[in-house]
Amino acid sequence: MKTKIFIDGREGTTGLQIYDRLAARDDIELLTIDEALRKDVGERKKLINAADLVFLCLPDDAAREAVSLPDNDHTRILDASTAHRVADGWVYGLPELSEAQRERIKAGKRVSNPGCHSTGAILLLAPLTGAGLLAPDYPLVITSVTGYTGGGKKMIAEYEAPDREKGGELDSPRLYSTGASHKHIPEITLYSGITRPPAMTPIVADYPQGIQVIIPLHLPGKTRDVFDALSARYTDNRNIEVRSEGPAFAPCSVNGGTDKVTISVLGYDDIVILTAQLDNLGKGACGAAVQNMNIMLGFDEYTGLRI
């Protein structure tokens, strides 16, 4: 009997891409909802309870509501929203953190998919704090350059509007989400092993997909140690490449093409410059969700991934 999967919120950017990835697979059965009933709580509850695993591709409040809908002990939930990434009782879905984390995901009933910016930042920082190369209270500054699909439906509509003004502010990279603490900072802080929340500056640019997380560190004489720590941590992860030569890629170069993360250890004098390059809708969203699903259901972890 095939494993039954339901995508709650299939109409969104992440939901559509997860559906497209899973529709061609013959090892699962996708449950679908009538378009006219996609907001009907009763119909959604019926499908959620019929599924072995449910993807939540919903706004945060709707995701919190959806978690209350299962009334059985077998439906497992994989939440792609921000709602449960640092919540008690949830497993953080970044298997590359450790083999123990991978086992937690495999056994988890409630798994949260990481954010795209935080995926890059945590993969860069966690091995360094773990190896004692980076003090937990180091004053971190993180810059992320992302394609506009990382900003959700409203931002996508602005950039892809047919009557968009040419030569306007959207044509150039620009700061965004600077009026409040970035939503990914809590998970970066918790899972990177740091005690001081980083200063984070997200930048959006005029291309659809691809993100580059950039972290400069003042670590005199430690460039090789940093490279060795990152290489050793990810040596058994087929979807992560660690490089020691530049220049680092332009973020748009991963535009929809891969579920890999490319880590570069660069720098000059006493400055180490770390970058993590990934597709914000690949390993930063739907690719990570499919990877976590594979782990949870006992499939090969990399089935259906573009690596």
Q: Which residues are catalytic?
A: 116
Indicate the helix (H) or strand (E) that contains 297: helix 287-297
How would you class 73 by CB atoms within 10 Å of its CB: exposed for 0-12, middle for 13-18, buried for 19 or more?
exposed
For residues 151 and 56, what is the distance between their CA atoms, to the nearest angstrom? Answer: 18
For residues 200 and 209, what is the distance between their CA atoms, to the nearest angstrom? Answer: 20
Half-sphere exposure of residue 144: CA atoms within 13 angstroms, side-chain side: 35
Half-sphere exposure of residue 228: CA atoms within 13 angstroms, side-chain side: 7
Q: Cβ neighbours of residue 27 under 8 Å, at least 6 residues apart?
A: 2, 3, 299, 303
33, 60 Cβ separation under 8 angstroms: no
Angle between helices 152-160 and 13-23 (to 10 degrees): 90
Task: State the maximum Cα–Cα separation within the chain, in Å, rounded to a whole number.
Answer: 62
Q: How many helices (H) and strands (E) does the chain have?
A: 9, 13
For residues 92 and 108, what is the distance between their CA atoms, to the nearest angstrom? Answer: 9
196, 138 Cβ separation under 8 angstroms: yes
Write out the DSSP string of 66-128. HHT---SSS-EEEE-SSTTTT-TT-EE--GGG-HHHHHHHHH-SEEEPPPHHHHHHHHHHHHH
